[in-house]
Structure 1
Amino acid sequence: MHKKLFIPGPVDVREDVLLKMATPQIGHRTKDASALQRGISEKIRKLMYTENEILLSTSSGSGLMEGAVRSCTRKRAAVFSVGAFGDRWYKMAIANNVPADIFKSELGQPTTPEMVEEALATGKYDLITITHNETSTGIMNPVDEIAEVVKKYPEVVFCLDTVSSLGGTKIEVDKLGVDICITSTQKCLGLPAGMAICSFSEKARKAAEQVEHRGLYFDLLELYKYIQDKDYQYPSTPSLAHMFALDYQLENIVAEGFENRFARHLEMAKLTREWANKHFEMLAEEKYASNTLTTIRNTREISVSDLNKELGKRGYMISNGYGKLKDVTFRIAHMADTQIDELKTLLSVIEEILGL
């Protein structure tokens, strides 16, 4: 029996979207492939509210995260972490011999504008990484406030991880001054895992030109130059199956309406937060709570594993905590094409199992 997924990703994918992945293959060096890739980029620009170039990568979002910190750090990177995925960005920098410092918040606490100001005021850093939405802690950072600080430092390349938020909440890339906005397919976009996407600004391009050793596969400057020179062709073989589905799904997102989609995600988030506060306790403060996933303190000390076994018998799956939070939290995702009535049913089933 298929389990309806309420986990941080991969998400449930609609059957019509899955079927698009079975579209017959075309030559990846053809004009049809160029048109497909160009069309996707044009749609993503609208969803990101940006005029910047869009780069596609046959990888997870981590690939472009690594590419960003390696390709565009000239002096030193300031990596801000509110959980496991911020920590991972720091590990990527160190593994690639990129000078970097990590600025960690307490689990369940956000990155604050004051933290960013204090770091950038030193003049040591020319690249900053921020996790917009952290699925391990359920934190959505105050990116609007952080962006106002970063704008004071025009030499700093601003990288933003929106892997678990783009398509589920409004992120105005150009208004925020984000140079590299990274996402991937298996979260709010409602597709299978396997493709990553990022915006790439002129500032980021100029920074990358000053970096000698940018790697190869995830060299963002190489990707940028190739699609300019070759009319939206890519240097390595792309996953056309993902692209067929992504192009189709972006049409669905346009049809739903961006604002309607964001409002649906927020409605689901509010419902889950209310439920969590009634029966358990939220990890994140309300004003920093994610719109796409809720991390809940396990104040009743239930066995999340046993709960998931019972949910599985009924066709559902949620997620336990991540890393250090494994036994003390559990997580309910509400993203992509999940509907409010489906979420209400899940919460009712959990209440029934736990006798709440």
Structure 2
Amino acid sequence: MQTYPIPMVPGPVLVPETIRQVYLQPYGSGDLETEFVDLYTRAQRRLKEIFTTRDDIVIMSGEGMLGLWSALKSCLVPGDRVLAVATGVFGYGIGEMAQSIGADVKTIGFSYDETINDMARIEAAIADFKPRMITAVHCETPSGTLNPLEALGELKNTSNVPLFYVDTVAGAGGVPVLADDWHIDLCLGGSQKCLSAPPDMTFLSVSPKAWEIIEAVDYVGYDALKPFKQAVDNRYFPYTPSWQGVAALFAAAGLLLDEGLENSFKRHDQVARRCRQRLVDLGIDLFPAPGAVPSPTVTAAKIPEGFTWDSWDRRLRDGGLVVAGSYGPLAEKVFRIGHMGSQANLEMVDEALDVIAAAL
């Protein structure tokens, strides 16, 4: 199997050896051993700090998309109105996911190189459409952008919209997430981005209002949230949980909190600025438009003139660097450097940019 000395994809990121060793330890069965419940609750407390929330945390065995689907299917019934605020592939995609389960979806769309900026348009849509849920993506990894959410959360609150659903899979741990201050009811994260754990766990905060709606909807399925409300108290999970996954997630959150969230945010910002500046110095155009907020966890840039994505990717791999292409309308146009978690490292980014300079 081919590996590369400079892995800079925007997740799954390079897993530090300390976390790998935690994952590889022999554990018992999570649905039988009381020690697992203790580990689960300690992991919940650490994730609350990362989300800056007092709300409950649910930890599920499965990649981040599990949480995205779970929150939608557990809170919506056919005909419920969903306002999808979309600036990229995942923002538009979440609206399509809600539509696929029967929701009545209205999308307030922005260009893929923009971030949320027209609150008057969103406010008018809320007043007219009266949604049950607003959805947004914090970090649009395919676009390399970071959506400011404070104003949207405040608008949700003042407009009495029941639910605010936010995907911060590629943000949590690398940028501030203020779930309570931003009035987020369902805040969704994943293990394989800024926490630098294996890609097998999803976690989300659930507000009291969200639990109330989850109880009323009463969705049953493998990805249902409802059984997790009493899982710790009853010491009974709806399916066999991944002890390895929770242990690795607990360790990863611990490393992040030991560093200090503010220090992590500064590290990600410093590395992102270095990455963007060196790309510009090389004559490579950044993808986000002027005025858009670039993400501190991933940089998206336009594929240099004279290259296709395949030829550019091959040239970089020949130099030992692996980056990512993009999706949807951005496929074949954009490449992405993931400087999140363990990869938010100045030395790694400089090595990556040296390869890019040579490839040009």
Give TM-score scaled by structure 1 length.
0.93
Asked if residue 170 in structure 1 is aligned to residue 171 in structure 2, the reply is no
**For 1:39, which of 34, 37, 42 is the aligned residue?**
42
SS at structure 1 position matched to 2:128: coil
Give the letter for the 2:182 counterpart: L
Counterpart mapping for 1:311-326 below 5 A = 311-326=316-331
Uncovered stretches (5+) of structure 1, i.e. residues with no partner: none
Match for 1:111: what amino acid?
A: I
Q: Which residue of structure 1 lines up, in the alignment, with residue 348 of structure 2?
A: 342
Query: Residue by residue, what CA displacement relative to the aligned partner does 1:277-309 show, whole Å, maximum 9, x if unpaired?
Result: 332222213541111111112352423333332
Give the match's secondary structure for 1:170: coil
Q: Which residue of 2 aligns with 1:79?
A: 84
- 2:213 corresponds, among 207, 217, 225, to 207
The sequence identity of aligned pairs, in percent, is 25
**Could you tell which deviates more after superposition, 300-309 or 45-54?**
300-309
Structure 1 distance, partners of 2:183, 2:335, is: 34
Amino acid at match of 1:219: A
Distance in 2 between residues matched to 1:143 and 1:155, nearest whole Å:
15
Counterparts of 1:130 and 1:198 in 2: how far apart (Å)? 14
Alignment of 1:286-301 (within 5 A): 287-301=292-306
Alpha-carbon distance between aligned partners in 2 of 1:2 and 1:244, rounded to the nearest angstrom: 26
CA distance in structure 2 between the aligned counterparts of 1:254 and 1:210, rounded to whole angstroms: 36
Matched, 1:268 2:271: yes
- Aligned partner of 1:280 among 284, 292, 296: 284
Residue type of the partner of 1:304?
Answer: W
Q: 1:115 to 1:61 in 2, by over 3 A?
A: farther
Whole-angstrom distance in 2 between the partners of 1:25 and 1:343: 36
Aligned to 2:3: 2
**1:8-31: CA deviation from partner (whole Å, max 9, x where unpaired):** 211111122112111112121221
1:239, 1:303 → 2: CA distance? 41
Query: Structure 1 CA distance, aligned partners of 2:328 and 2:103?
Result: 25
Contact 2:134-2:161 at 8 Å conserved across structures: no
Kindly indicate whether the alpha-carbon contact (under 8 Å) linking 1:132 and 1:160 is maintained by their aligned counterparts in 2: yes
Greater Cα offset, 123-132 or 89-98: 89-98
In 2, Cα distance between the equivalents of 1:123 and 1:78?
A: 8
Shift of 1:174: 0.8
CA deviation vs aligned residue, 1:163-216 (integer Å, no higher than 9, x gap): 11111101111111111100111111101111100000001111222324x242
Letter in 2 for 1:60: E
130-139 or 82-91: bigger deviation: 82-91
**Coordinate RMSD, CA, aligned:** 1.8
The DSSP-based 3-state class of the residue aligned with 2:241 is coil
| 1:224 aligned residue | 229
Q: CA–CA distance in 2 between the matches of 1:106 and 1:287? A: 10
Deviation per residue, 1:2-53 (Å, 9 max, x gap): 3132112111111221121111121212210101101100100011111100
- Quick one: which amino acid aligns to residue 9 of structure 1? G
Q: Is the 8 A contact 1:70 1:215 kept in 2?
A: no
Distance of 1:316 and 1:84 partners within structure 2:
25
Q: 1:88 to 1:123 in 2, by over 3 A?
A: closer
In the TM superposition, what are the counterparts of 1:170-209 in structure 2 within 5 Å? 170-209=176-215
**219 and 352 in structure 1: CA distance in 2 versus 1, 3 angstrom threshold:** same
- Paired AA for residue 244 in structure 2: A
Residue 103 of structure 2 aligns with an amino acid whose one-letter code is V
Residue pair 2:52, 2:180 contacting (<8 A) in 1 also: yes
Which 5+ residue runs of structure 2 have no aligned equivalent?
A: none
Question: Hey, what's the Cα distance between the residues in 2 that align with 1:109 and 1:287?
Answer: 5
Q: TM-score, normalised by structure 2?
A: 0.92
Secondary structure of residue in 2 paired with 1:321: coil
Question: What is aligned with 1:128?
Answer: 134
Runs (4+) off by over 4 Å: none
Amino acid at match of 1:12: L
Deviation at 1:54, TM superposition (A): 0.3
**CA deviation after TM superposition for structure 1 residue 219, in Å:** 1.9
- Aligned residue number for residue 49 of structure 1: 52
Q: State the partner residue of 1:12.
A: 14
Return 201-210 or 130-139, whichever deviates more.
201-210
What CA distance in whole angstroms lies between the structure 1 residues aligned with 2:8 and 2:346? 12
* Structure 1 residues 202 and 301, CA gap change in structure 2 (3 angstroms): farther
Q: Return the letter of the residue paired with 1:59.
A: G
Q: Alignment length, in residue pairs?
A: 351
Letter in 1 for 2:81: R
Task: Name the SS for the 2:229 alignment partner.
Answer: helix
Q: Deviations over 1:57-90 (max 9, x none)?
A: 1122212111212222363111222222122212
Q: Partners in 1 of 2:220 and 2:134 — Cα distance?
A: 19
